[in-house]
Amino acid sequence: MTANTTQHAHTDTARNANDIKISTRTLEFAVYVAAVLATIITSAVVGDNANEDGADVFNAHDAMQLITWLTVGLMVARGLAKAGNRNHNHG
């Protein structure tokens, strides 16, 4: 291996160490998907039956509101991850 090849390999390793994971490959995205699915299932299962006197205690509007807040939370988390990963070496 030449010195140039070694230097190039080291630069690639350093660059990859600072890269941000693709959002769909993060734990926070998996938790987001699980939470959205749980919200949808809960909204479909919990609802209008004879024991609740016709009241839908967790309706579609409530589910969509919760999913919206989950989405905002994911966007904030991804934004913070990207903001905190800036490389400050300009040399």
Of 33, 15, 16, the C-alpha closest to 24 is: 33
Q: Please determine, for residue 18, whether its predicted confidence score (pLDDT) is greater than 80.
A: no
Task: List pLDDT tens digits, range 58-77.
Answer: 888 999 999 999 999 999 98
CA dist 37 and 70 (Å) reads 11
Phi, psi of 55 (to 5 degrees): -90, 130
Region of 71 (left: φ > 0; alpha: ψ -120 to 50; beta: rest) is alpha
On average, the pLDDT of the chain sits at 75
Q: Please determine, for residue 87, whether its predicted confidence score (pLDDT) is greater than 90.
A: no
Asked whether the whole model's pTM tops 0.75, one would answer no
Q: Can you tell me the mean pLDDT for 36-64?
A: 81
